[in-house]
Amino acid sequence: MTTDLAAVRRGIDQSGHDPLLLVDVVSSLGSIDFRMDEWRVDVALTGTQKGLMLPPGGAILCVGPRALEASEKNRTPRYFYDWRPVIRDMQQGFFPHTPATLLLFGLREALRMLFEEGLDDVLARHQRLADGTRAAVRAWGLPMLASDAARASNSLTAVVVDQVDSNKVVKVAAERLNLALGVGLGQLRGRVFRIGHLGSLNELEVLATLAGTELALHYSGQAIELGVGVAAAQRFFAGIAAAGAGRAAPAASVATAERVG
Amino acid sequence: MTTDLAAVRRGIDQSGHDPLLLVDVVSSLGSIDFRMDEWRVDVALTGTQKGLMLPPGGAILCVGPRALEASEKNRTPRYFYDWRPVIRDMQQGFFPHTPATLLLFGLREALRMLFEEGLDDVLARHQRLADGTRAAVRAWGLPMLASDAARASNSLTAVVVDQVDSNKVVKVAAERLNLALGVGLGQLRGRVFRIGHLGSLNELEVLATLAGTELALHYSGQAIELGVGVAAAQRFFAGIAAAGAGRAAPAASVATAERVG
Amino acid sequence: MTTDLAAVRRGIDQSGHDPLLLVDVVSSLGSIDFRMDEWRVDVALTGTQKGLMLPPGGAILCVGPRALEASEKNRTPRYFYDWRPVIRDMQQGFFPHTPATLLLFGLREALRMLFEEGLDDVLARHQRLADGTRAAVRAWGLPMLASDAARASNSLTAVVVDQVDSNKVVKVAAERLNLALGVGLGQLRGRVFRIGHLGSLNELEVLATLAGTELALHYSGQAIELGVGVAAAQRFFAGIAAAGAGRAAPAASVATAERVG
Amino acid sequence: MTTDLAAVRRGIDQSGHDPLLLVDVVSSLGSIDFRMDEWRVDVALTGTQKGLMLPPGGAILCVGPRALEASEKNRTPRYFYDWRPVIRDMQQGFFPHTPATLLLFGLREALRMLFEEGLDDVLARHQRLADGTRAAVRAWGLPMLASDAARASNSLTAVVVDQVDSNKVVKVAAERLNLALGVGLGQLRGRVFRIGHLGSLNELEVLATLAGTELALHYSGQAIELGVGVAAAQRFFAGIAAAGAGRAAPAASVATAERVG
């Protein structure tokens, strides 16, 4: 699901309160529109291994002036989460600890890649790849966890299965096809599996993922017609709108400006 | 096409002549069965960049005793193609020139990978991936250049198009999908394109290639039903035999022992 | 300096108290002898980027049973430093967070390298390279911060300069020679610079470091005879004992069994 | 040795003949001044693994118009050395064979590095590093094969030993110090060893090489005072002219414009 951060901001503004707004953009930064200034976000947190296309190993915090001020005034003891020595040293080009240098060099290159493609084009690509993925899931006849299409995530699609344990689908995909799907977490364990579609990704990789997912569903015992999801995604990519998808698409586009985060 | 080297050997044996047998196994070594000793091949030539899974840059010659003897007796002047200084120096662990060391280190690792998987399993994998590819082409309704299925190559499938210039398919695949197909060469230029399926390759990569090829055909103007080739390959991989493919498969398997090279 | 952990252990044992023993082995693990079990260390902490020869980015904790028990009984709130979810998940092959996978793969290879060379040989190599470095510093006529030779560190040598700001030596080494020396920290700032000699390191690299340090000292204005340190280290490596070094060496060797950590 | 190509050109011009001028610049291109147009060189041949700083594996030919014309007129049969299909295909962006793509990508980056540093600065760096190396050899009291200092090569220094087999020096350097020196070839076998100093190389690497060579000479039984060569090179790099070197340096500089190739 995508949280409509602009709406959250409006809700806060209308509440008469003025709390700090802290958001987790781990699965969205660099893949889905995010406007820290416009939405007056105080702290945004992400990791290196998603839309920033790097190996895992780093957390990245973007901290605005109101959060900094709160941090200065706060009197609770802290050590690891204390931003002050980091900020103080970084202003002179240093770190208070040994930094993960390879991730920093990688981050510089990742940002170059994102800006070379153009951030708008990156976001549009994720929209297109996610729309293709959702077209495939609809063709499979399986529900998506994000039942409201207008709020579906452009970086991840959680698919609900009813005839098999979703963990089995993930296991079979890994063992027989070398395909990494995600398991359902918490109370969704066994009921959904997740298809990731973010970062450095193109149409062929999405089609391969969908084709492999179809095989994994088939091998696991979930009744499915092989190829129908791939074909639906191909038709979407080729601009051959399916009836249902055709009607949904404009609505989804309109919704985009409002909702993402 | 696959040349039936065992049959060539039998033909030579029955001819009453005893020429040297020199074979080009560039597109087959490490992908399709090849038996240098059993078929009494005198020189086999390959490159690093196909079944050996390395970057291009090296040619590899396997030379048997009869070819060495002919080389010694031959009186024509030669320099680059003279094996004698190479063999002399190599026997002492040297090269008469600066060797392409990275390719040698890579070759050692590539051979480890092939033997770790097991050469029989590598060949069976190529058979399976090629059969899946051919099932897709048949589903497209397009002819393969290798009209005799029993002699089709397990490393490459040349597809004949009749409604478009095949160069256009290759160009569109590269530009719109970042997919590398091969052009038709010589008198086949414009009439066929080639799908490579050899080396380090699995089912998902084949399915991505087929899905992308379908899109490229569609974009180029060749009438095709999107997804039917992918579905046919999936059904083959899943062991759901199509009527035609089901009958052909056993015959192809029987033919394997006889034909490849 | 090297802390004599065995002596610390003996001191604790004789004190009649039984506190947890937590040690920082960041600069020593894999370079200087460390015996967690024999010295009954409860927690040892290191990083990836020193003796383990990996890029920076990971901290590694080795936790013994008494520390685990104390952690379980402890009632203070904690989150980042809470070991319990990590241990619980790891027992099933998982992590409670996304792990820095590249560092884990690298660690496996680093440990293979250490055990392939043999841990005793790795420690002896660090002893030899450190002895060579100290022979050079003595030849320069500059004091080492570790004035007691028997307690000098085998992974790092801090050199005291009196005619120049040590920060200038470090800066000149970086800018003119592409050589990374370490600055003095805290109250040693400007008075000492540090020569690191740990991890994947051989005699030639030590000699290059010493030769570059001599040039950086000369460029910075510290009077020094170029080459005398390199020559002293070479003579040590070649087994040509200098008078002073010859007498010191056996004493240092005897001390080794007692002191390191 | 460096061949004085400008003098060769003048000699040819004065001879009244007008042959093609073909030069081997394997060990010099990118390290020592070379002027193809000014010296009217018809063919220059180099490899990837020297001044171009790439792995070995590629030969690079630079061919001028007169050589091309001769090649067209020549009627002898040739295949591997036939430039015509290469030139024809390259004009359309193709190769008549599978190119060593990694070397081509690497070459683009290597040229960027050379031009980023500036070709004049690259040549001056090689001059400086070679002068430092020669200062070391003079300090060792060992003759250089290039007895005329004005014609010594800036990419390679061949050192003559008289008390030991030079192959032993090379072997000991490799086995005990992981240092790669070159053996003497042909009639120089056993009498000289070679120190390479070209490509991506800085002062510290030269000093490490010299320090290791001193140890290898010592271990092999060639009488040498450890450290004197390193010290001589350091003094040269620091601008502390030794008496002999001081007088030689200006002469060498003057000669540079005349001689190299």
Residue with tokens 């450290």: D227
DSSP reduced 3-state for C159: strand
* DSSP designation for B151: G
**Interface partners of C (3+ CB pairs, < 8 Å)?**
A, D
CB-based contacts of D165, cutoff 8 Å, min separation 6 = D190, D220
Which pLDDT does position A18 carry in this prediction? 92
| Order of all β-strands in the sheet with D182-183 | D156-160, D192-196, D182-183
**Interface partners of A (3+ CB pairs, < 8 Å)?**
B, C
Chain C positions touching A99 (Cβ under 8 A) are 56
Using the predicted structure, report yes or no on whether residue A79 has a pLDDT greater than 50: yes
Asked if C56 lies within 8 A of A81 by C-beta distance, the reply is no
Using the predicted structure, report yes or no on whether residue A155 has a pLDDT greater than 80: yes
Distance CA D258, CA D200 (A): 25
| Token pair listed for B85 | 């200084």
Which pLDDT does position C243 carry in this prediction? 37
CB-based contacts of C142, cutoff 8 Å, min separation 6 = C159, C160, C161, C222, C224
Residue with tokens 């520390």: C67
Q: Which residues pair with A62 in a beta bridge?
A: A44
pLDDT in tens, B185-221: 889 999 999 999 999 999 999 999 999 999 999 999 9
DSSP codes of every residue in chain D: ----HHHHHHHHHHHT-----EEE-TTTTTTS---TTTTT-SEEEEETTSTT---S--EEEEE-HHHHHHHHH--S--STT--HHHHHHHTTT--SS---HHHHHHHHHHHHHHHHH-HHHHHHHHHHHHHHHHHHHHHHTPPBS--SGGG--SSEEEEE-SSS-HHHHHHHHHHHH----EE--GGGTTTEEEEE--SS--HHHHHHHHHHHHHHHHHHT----TTHHHHHHHHHHTT---HHHHHHHHHHHHHHHHH--
Using the predicted structure, report yes or no on whether residue C191 has a pLDDT greater than 50: yes
Among the listed residues C230, C104, C216, the one whose alpha carbon sits nearest the alpha carbon of residue C165:
C216
Using the predicted structure, report yes or no on whether residue D229 has a pLDDT greater than 90: yes
Instruction: Give me the amino acid identity at A60.
Output: I
- Let me know: does A155 contact A34? Beta carbons within 8 Å: no
Q: Give me the mean pLDDT over the A79-106 stretch.
A: 91
Asked if B100 lies within 8 A of D47 by C-beta distance, the reply is no
Distance CA A252, CA C46 (A): 50
Instruction: Give me the amino acid identity at B22.
Output: L
Asked if B55 lies within 8 A of D98 by C-beta distance, the reply is no
Distance CA A193, CA A195 (A): 7
Other Cβ atoms within 10 Å of B65 Cβ, number: 8
Q: Which residue of A has its CA nearest to B136?
A: A227
Name which of B47, B56, B80 is nearest D101 (Cβ-Cβ): B56
Other Cβ atoms within 10 Å of C258 Cβ, number: 11
Report the gap between the CA of A42 and the closest CA in chain B (Å).
40
Using the predicted structure, report yes or no on whether residue D254 has a pLDDT greater than 90: no
Positive or negative: CA dihedral C132, C133, C135, C139: positive
Categorize the per-residue pLDDT at B241 as very low, low, confident or very high, splitting at 50, 70 and 90.
low
pLDDT in tens, A141-151: 999 999 898 89
Which pLDDT does position D241 carry in this prediction? 64
pLDDT in tens, D189-228: 999 999 999 999 999 999 999 999 999 999 999 999 999 9
Distance CA A24, CA A8 (A): 13
Question: For residue A217, what is the enclosing H or E element?
Answer: helix A203-220
Which pLDDT does position B156 carry in this prediction? 95
Among the listed residues A48, A1, A42, the one whose alpha carbon sits nearest the alpha carbon of residue A19:
A42
- Let me know: does B169 contact B193? Beta carbons within 8 Å: yes
- Phi (first) and psi of residue B107, to 5 degrees: -65, -40
Other Cβ atoms within 10 Å of B78 Cβ, number: 11
Cβ of residue A54 closer than 8 Å to a chain C Cβ? no
Among the listed residues B175, B204, B227, B234, the one whose alpha carbon sits nearest the alpha carbon of residue A236:
B227
| Token pair listed for A147 | 């039942």
Which pLDDT does position C158 carry in this prediction? 97
Residue C149 CA: distances (Å) to CA of A106, C153, C248, C249: 42, 9, 8, 9
Asked if C57 lies within 8 A of A81 by C-beta distance, the reply is no
Which pLDDT does position C172 carry in this prediction? 98
pLDDT in tens, D49-81: 999 999 999 999 999 999 999 999 999 888 888
Which pLDDT does position C241 carry in this prediction? 64
| Order of all β-strands in the sheet with C182-183 | C156-160, C192-196, C182-183
Q: Give me the mean pLDDT over the D95-121 stretch.
A: 96
Global pTM? 0.89
pLDDT in tens, C3-38: 999 999 999 999 999 999 999 999 999 999 999 999
> Kindly report the CA angle at C39 between C36 and C42, in degrees rounded to 5?
55
Interface B-D, measured as beta-carbon pairs within 8 A, has a size of 34
* DSSP designation for C197: -
Question: For residue B136, what is the enclosing H or E element?
Answer: helix B119-140
Q: Which residue of A has its CA nearest to C49?
A: A98
Chain C residues 74-113 within an 8 A CB cutoff of chain A: 80-81, 98-103
Report the gap between the CA of D251 and the closest CA in chain C (Å).
26
Chain B positions touching A203 (Cβ under 8 A) are 177, 212, 215
- Phi (first) and psi of residue B40, to 5 degrees: 50, 55
Tell which wins on pLDDT, D202 or B79: D202
- Let me know: does C210 contact C233? Beta carbons within 8 Å: yes
Q: Label the pairing between strands A43-47 and A22-24.
A: parallel
Q: Give me the mean pLDDT over the D135-139 stretch.
A: 97
Categorize the per-residue pLDDT at A93 as very low, low, confident or very high, splitting at 50, 70 and 90.
confident
Using the predicted structure, report yes or no on whether residue D250 has a pLDDT greater than 90: no
DSSP reduced 3-state for A40: coil
Report the gap between the CA of C55 and the closest CA in chain D (Å).
22
Q: Give me the mean pLDDT over the C228-250 stretch.
A: 73
Residue with tokens 């630079």: D62
Angle between helices B228-237 and B119-140 (to 10 degrees): 150
Report the gap between the CA of A220 and the closest CA in chain B (Å).
11
Instruction: Give me the amino acid identity at B41.
Output: V
Distance CA A34, CA A2 (A): 11
pLDDT in tens, D160-185: 999 999 999 999 999 999 999 999 98
Query: Among A104-108, A255-259, B111-115, D197-201, which is the least confidently predicted range?
Result: A255-259
Other Cβ atoms within 10 Å of B47 Cβ, number: 20
The long-range contacts involving D103-107, CB below 8 angstroms and separated by at least 24 positions, are D103/B57, D103/D48, D103/D54, D103/D55, D103/D57, D103/D58, D106/D48, D106/D54, D106/D55, D107/D48, D107/D52, D107/D54, D107/D58, D107/D60
Categorize the per-residue pLDDT at C260 as very low, low, confident or very high, splitting at 50, 70 and 90.
very low
Question: For residue C158, what is the enclosing H or E element?
Answer: strand C156-160
Q: What does pLDDT average to over chain C?
A: 91
Q: Give me the mean pLDDT over the A107-113 stretch.
A: 98
pLDDT in tens, D12-39: 999 999 999 999 999 999 999 999 999 9
Using the predicted structure, report yes or no on whether residue C251 has a pLDDT greater than 50: no
Which pLDDT does position A241 carry in this prediction? 64
Using the predicted structure, report yes or no on whether residue D247 has a pLDDT greater than 90: no
CB-based contacts of A38, cutoff 8 Å, min separation 6 = A6
- Let me know: does D133 contact D157? Beta carbons within 8 Å: yes
Q: Give me the mean pLDDT over the B223-231 stretch.
A: 97
Residue C249 CA: distances (Å) to CA of A110, B77, C127: 51, 66, 11
Cβ of residue A56 closer than 8 Å to a chain C Cβ? yes
Distance in Å from the first CA to the final CA of chain B: 10
Among the listed residues C234, C3, C230, C1, the one whose alpha carbon sits nearest the alpha carbon of residue C128:
C234
- Let me know: does C50 contact C102? Beta carbons within 8 Å: no
Cβ of residue A205 closer than 8 Å to a chain B Cβ? yes
**Percentage of chain C modeled with pLDDT above 90:** 82
